Structure 1
Amino acid sequence: MKFDKQNLSKSTLLDLYYNMLKPRLIEEKMLILLRQGKISKWFSGIGQEAISVGVTLAMRDEEYILPMHRNLGVFTTRKIPLFRLFCQWQGKASGFTNGRDRSFHFGTQEYNIVGMISHLGPQLGVADGIALANVLQKNKKVTAVFTGEGGTSEGDFHEALNVASVWQLPVLFCIENNGYGLSTPTKEQYNCEHLADRGKGYGMESHIIDGNNILEVYNTLSELAEDIRNNPRPVLIEFKTFRMRGHEEASGTKYVPQDLMDAWAEKDPISNFEEFLKSEGVLTEDIKQKFESEIKTEIDDALDQAYAEENIIPNLTTELNDVYKPYNYQEVSKGFEVEEKRLIDAISDGLKQSMERHDNLVIMGQDIAEYGGVFKITDGFVEQFGKERVRNTPICESSIVEAGMGLSIAGMKAVVEMQFADFVSSGFNPIVNYLAKSHYRWAQHADVVIRMPCGAGVAAGPFHSQTNEAWFTKTPGLKVVYPAFPADAKGLLATAINDPNPVLFFEHKALYRSIREDVPTDYYTLPLGKASLLRTGNDITIITYGAGVHWALETLKNNPEISADLIDLRSLQPLDKDAIIDSVKKTNKAIILQEDSLFGGIASDLSAMLMEACFEYLDAPVKRVASLETPIPFESELEQQYLAKGRFEEALKKLLKY
């Protein structure tokens, strides 16, 4: 292995050596503890230390790094106290996740590190979002994100690189090509000679680096990082290296030919650099022994401290309260001036006034800039706010949701428009596994609103007509809002944007231009989790939301003799349980109307809740009315047959007679 120290000082060379030695000695200790049953799992980075350390030292402390589970050197080089790392691995309170996640599945704003999730790919798009924030803030910072060669097969990898290239974001995409994705060799992972060659397809600069040569890593990354700070752009880097242990210790390395293990053992990044430093007169045996003694003492002391900390005592209130970032709702009252507006206009006004109120708010989506979006909600926004804050995106729902998360990590706000709510399935993973879980895992909020044009009744067929709120009401950590009226939509959207938690904001397409009412012209807010009682009566409680509200109103208008409480939920998560229960205790009957198909919809949970909370008050079974258990058909007559609207009146009258 050839080392080129260039003009590096003796202290820098020793610093590089020390920072590689530290994670190696920690890992050797962890492998002993694993065999002793004192830790449950370990993902070894032995043989790859030069990459983590070289990249980290090339970055500034205030720049974000998004590492993987084999990048212990990132955490130690950023000088995270070993006591806290050991507590993290033991599930102690002084770790970073309060025992809620393991190993390297955590982040820390204190050290500008954003940890991975097991799905690997989403962190690449998150890096895009952080880099976008850096560009908008003009702070000349670089973001570095890691993945393995196996992770490059995921769609998130390709989406993130494409977005970074189109937007010219200052991101270092670092691929650690260590030969195997668990046991699958690279020849079965991809069919190109070098992963770095993929950069050409994205119009992106790329480099191949010997990942075991600390000086090549550090010098190249230092030069690239400094250049990118002044000339923002993404760069793809493939580090050629090897994993000397199993994917995790239990998997072993029997699938690796011994001659390959032997060849890479000779390329060990630490022993080779150690010999080079000795030959240069930089490292002596005394210095080496001093470093080892110092690190081992630090390890032992930190382990003793971590072992001495008591195990976490579960606290139900704490667990439930940490799912969401606390948010103190601030009411902004409606002004007296009103103007008749359609639902679509009220949403556009609410979004525009929020953009005016929050200069750190960015909206992203397909065709939302000059074109104004397929529904024209953002028409004219580019002229007022500029293309930096009103951003057309490629067709890549996953990466754009992730970018919204990155903006939030970097202290900004994001509104992401799904062109149709149906398309959110292409971005499902980062919503339910990243945005929803981040605050619970490591106290990082996701200040992201995802706008969801949804619903049937416009003859749009199976891929443009779903109302899929139940996918998200099931997921702790998400908030779900579903207004039925223009004034509600405007005020609730403002609150959703103010709220630092992830919000799915459903907008029914069939109501966009068919429903209108007087809407306050000034900015105002409405609380999430507060239902609206639209009608009062004594015989039955009707519970619904979205288009169902208007179906119920039409039914009551056609049947004035029916005395009913009509509850428009408006917010599905959080849910106004008290309003529902109090009404049913009064009327003694309940019918729940939803546009979604029946099984697994929110009506099922509401029915179960009422059976548990109001059983002794009920004079009849709780009735659910929903659409057919089929995909949504295109043809008008088939669509009308599909929808719950045509069955609601009959079901309501039958329940009243029970």
Structure 2
Amino acid sequence: MQFNRKNFTNDQLIAIYKLLLLPRLIEEKMLVLLRQGKISKWFSGIGQEAIAVGCTYAMQPDEWIMPLHRNLGVFTTRNMPLRKLFMQWQGNKEGYSKGRERSFHFGIKDYYICGMISHLGPQLAVADGAALAYKLRNQNKASLAFTGDGGTSEGDFHEALNVAAVWNLPVIFLIENNYYGLSTPVTEQYRCEHLVDKAKGYGIQGIRIDGNNILEVIEAITNVRKNCIAQQKPYLVECATFRMRGHEEASGTKYVPQEMLDEWSKKDPIKSYENFLLKEGILKEKEVLITRADIKQYIEDELQQAMNAPQIIPSTSEELADVYAPYTQGNWQTDVILIGNASSGTVVNELFAEKRFIDAIKEGLRQSMQQHPNLILMGQDIAEYGGAFKITEGFVYEFGKDRVRNTPLCESAIVGTALGLSLEDFKSVMEMQFADFVTAGFTQIVNNLAKIHYRWGQYADVVIRMPTGASVGAGPFHSQSNEAWFVHTPGLKVVYPSTPMDAKGLLIAAINDPNPVLFFEHKGLYRSISGEVPVEYYEVEIGKARHVQEGSDISIITYGLGVHWALEYAQQHTDISFDILDLRTLLPLDYEAIQTSVKRTGKVLVLHEDTLTGGIGGEVAAWIAEHCFQLLDAPVLRCASLDTPVPFNIKLEKNFLASARLDGKVQQLMAY
């Protein structure tokens, strides 16, 4: 291995040696602690330290890095307190994730490190978002994301590189090619000669380097970073390396040929660099011994302080409180009008305008864009074309292409990009062209957006607009009601308005809220209903139901199109007194409003367009049975759509929908 010292001084070369040695000696200590049962799991990066240390050394301290399992050198090179890292690995509350995450599944904004999730690939798109933030601010910065040889097979790798290339983002994608994804060799992972060859397919530049040569890594990343910033383009770097231990300690290395281990042990990044320093006379043997002893003592001292940390005492209230980033609606700026639980809305300003549902959403988006210069809209065909439903028509001319961004068909990458923007204090609204397509971004939503605040205190200031629902003859892939998928996911907020007033006010509230919000918009309501909407910029409170009308015979608890089904049925059956409650927010639910409605009637029908099994109606019915049993005069009934995909034929679709069974369920309740 040849080392080229370039313009490094002796002191700099020695400082790099200490940075390189520290994670190795920490790891050796961690393996001892693992055998002693003092930590539960460890992903070893022994043999790969030069990559993490070299990359972090080359990047600026305020540039985001997205590391993976074996990148301890990123954390140590950013000078994070070792005692706190030990607490993290021990699951102590004083660690970076309050005992909620293990090993390197955490981040910290103060050090510009974004914590990984086990799915690996989604990290790459988060780096896109950070790089987009730099680009929008005209900052001379780049972001860097790690992946492994195995991770390059994931769809997220393709999506992230494609988005970065199309949008000319200053992001470095770094592949640690250690020749095995757990036990799967690269011969079963890809067919190109080298992984860096993939760069050509995206029209970007790439370079392959010796990942075990610390000086080569520093030089390469320094130059790549400069090119990314100067050219405003992404770059792919493949680092040839090898991990000398298992994927994690329990998996071992029996699947690796011994001759391969022998070959790579000769290329050990610490020993090779140490020999170079000794040969050049930059260090002496005695100094090497002293350096190692000093670092080992530092590790022991920090470990001892970590060991003295108090044992964790679980607090249920704290656990629940940390699921969402704290936010008080209506108080973020004094001129926001907050509409509460009134059926018609209560506002100070009496200026109203008759608007269709779709126009109310458009106005809420436009006023939010005016209110927040840091708000970015992203989605397929949303710029000049105005989106599939024309909601953003004209926005690109008003706010510019930087803020109203057409995206490639890369749902996962765009959700990840939105999260990356949030790291840099941008807000974003992503239009999912149809709610059905959300499956392509599912991992980013339920594992990255939803969990990030609970895991390490980082908010995800992201709204995903979800055109949803049947009744328009669009068939099984453009008509699904999939809100229940997300109601089951702590950390998300799920909003589903039924009126123009609520559509505008709840969308504004969702954008103001720093937590991730899935905003469901029923396509069947877009142009079919109108209503009075305040002209002013206002919020409708998330988490508060709307009492639509008061009654004494039957409570219909519903949302979305179900509200209009209920109102129409009530108008046709004036002999029955219906109490109608519009949930509006499905996560969190307004249990107080639900209980109040149950008290009024004693008979409850939960109505929704979603299919019966696993729908939100089951949760509402179960809560009522558990908490309001003494108020009931009959079993809680559910009225939902058939447990089938949504059919295309209009007659079949009408039969599928819950409205086809509404009368039967009402009569069943009245018979009690």
Q: For this structure pair, what is the TM-score category when the shorter chain's length is used for normalisation? A: over 0.9
CA shift, 1:272, in A, is: 0.8
Give the counterpart letter for 2:145 in structure 1. V
CA shift, 1:290, in A, is: 2.7
CA shift, 1:650, in A, is: 2.2
Select which of 522, 528, 539 maps to 1:514: 528
CA shift, 1:166, in A, is: 0.3
Q: Using the alignment, how far apart are the partners of 2:580 and 2:36 within structure 1?
A: 62
Cα deviation digits, residues 504-556 of structure 1 (max 9, x gap)? 00000000000101111121111011111111011111100000000000000
Select which of 403, 410, 419 maps to 2:417: 403
Helix, strand or coil: the match of 1:525? Answer: strand
CA shift, 1:231, in A, is: 2.4
1:481-630 correspondence runs (5 A): 481-630=495-644
CA shift, 1:654, in A, is: 2.1
Q: Using the alignment, how far apart are the partners of 1:646 and 1:586 within structure 2?
A: 26
Aligned position for 2:290: 290
CA shift, 1:215, in A, is: 1.0
Asked if 1:370 corresponds to 2:384, the answer is yes
Cα deviation digits, residues 206-264 of structure 1 (max 9, x gap)? 00010011111111111221232232110000000001000011111010000000000
Aligned position for 2:437: 423
Do 2:44 and 2:70's aligned partners in 1 also have CA atoms closer than 8 Å? Answer: yes
Q: Using the alignment, how far apart are the partners of 1:102 and 1:637 within structure 2?
A: 53
Aligned position for 1:631: 645
Helix, strand or coil: the match of 1:592? Answer: strand
Give the counterpart letter for 2:464 in structure 1. I
Asked if 1:460 corresponds to 2:479, the answer is no
Asked if 1:108 corresponds to 2:108, the answer is yes
Aligned position for 1:253: 253
Give the counterpart letter for 2:644 in structure 1. T
Q: Using the alignment, how far apart are the partners of 1:7 and 1:453 within structure 2?
A: 57
Do 2:610 and 2:640's aligned partners in 1 also have CA atoms closer than 8 Å? Answer: yes
Select which of 361, 384, 397 maps to 2:398: 384
Do 2:621 and 2:636's aligned partners in 1 also have CA atoms closer than 8 Å? Answer: yes
CA shift, 1:585, in A, is: 1.9
Q: Using the alignment, how far apart are the partners of 1:490 and 1:612 within structure 2?
A: 34
Aligned position for 1:323: 323
Do 2:322 and 2:454's aligned partners in 1 also have CA atoms closer than 8 Å? Answer: yes
Aligned position for 2:121: 121
Asked if 1:437 corresponds to 2:460, the answer is no
Q: Using the alignment, how far apart are the partners of 1:291 and 1:434 within structure 2?
A: 40
Helix, strand or coil: the match of 2:425? Answer: coil
Give the counterpart letter for 2:279 in structure 1. S
CA shift, 1:558, in A, is: 0.4
Q: Using the alignment, how far apart are the partners of 1:298 and 1:412 within structure 2?
A: 39
CA shift, 1:7, in A, is: 1.4
Q: Using the alignment, how far apart are the partners of 1:653 and 1:554 within structure 2?
A: 16
CA shift, 1:112, in A, is: 0.6
Helix, strand or coil: the match of 1:328? Answer: coil
Cα deviation digits, residues 466-493 of structure 1 (max 9, x gap)? 1110000000000000000001100000
Q: Using the alignment, how far apart are the partners of 1:7 and 1:321 within structure 2?
A: 52
TM-score, structure 1 normalization:
0.99
Q: Provide the identity percentage.
A: 60
Q: Using the alignment, how far apart are the partners of 2:279 and 2:643 within structure 1?
A: 75
Do 2:551 and 2:600's aligned partners in 1 also have CA atoms closer than 8 Å? Answer: no
Q: Using the alignment, how far apart are the partners of 2:520 and 2:224 within structure 1?
A: 43
Aligned position for 1:148: 148
Q: Using the alignment, how far apart are the partners of 1:572 and 1:21 within structure 2?
A: 52
Helix, strand or coil: the match of 1:138? Answer: coil
Aligned position for 2:300: 300
Helix, strand or coil: the match of 2:470? Answer: coil
Aligned position for 1:641: 655
Asked if 1:131 corresponds to 2:131, the answer is yes
Give the counterpart letter for 1:251 in structure 2. S
CA shift, 1:289, in A, is: 2.2
Aligned position for 2:32: 32
CA shift, 1:143, in A, is: 0.3
Aligned position for 2:92: 92
Q: Using the alignment, how far apart are the partners of 1:482 and 1:115 within structure 2?
A: 31
Do 2:583 and 2:589's aligned partners in 1 also have CA atoms closer than 8 Å? Answer: yes
Give the counterpart letter for 1:621 in structure 2. P
CA shift, 1:600, in A, is: 0.4
CA shift, 1:285, in A, is: 2.0
Moved more, 285-294 or 594-603: 285-294
CA shift, 1:108, in A, is: 0.3
Cα deviation digits, residues 165-201 of structure 1 (max 9, x gap)? 0001011100000010000000001111100000000
Q: Using the alignment, how far apart are the partners of 1:139 and 1:84 within structure 2?
A: 31
Cα deviation digits, residues 133-181 of structure 1 (max 9, x gap)? 1101111111010010001111000000000000010111000000100
Give the counterpart letter for 2:535 in structure 1. T
Helix, strand or coil: the match of 1:16? Answer: helix
Moved more, 11-20 or 199-208: 11-20
RMSD: 0.8
Select which of 468, 472, 493 maps to 1:479: 493
Do 2:579 and 2:600's aligned partners in 1 also have CA atoms closer than 8 Å? Answer: no
Aligned position for 2:341: none
Q: Using the alignment, how far apart are the partners of 1:230 and 1:264 within structure 2?
A: 36
Q: Which runs of 5+ in 1 are unaligned?
A: none
CA shift, 1:574, in A, is: 1.4
Cα deviation digits, residues 104-130 of structure 1 (max 9, x gap)? 000001111012110101110101011
Q: Which runs of 5+ in 2 are unaligned?
A: 338-346
Q: Using the alignment, how far apart are the partners of 2:533 and 2:328 within structure 1?
A: 25
CA shift, 1:287, in A, is: 2.5
Q: Using the alignment, how far apart are the partners of 2:286 and 2:261 within structure 1?
A: 31
Give the counterpart letter for 1:84 in structure 2. K
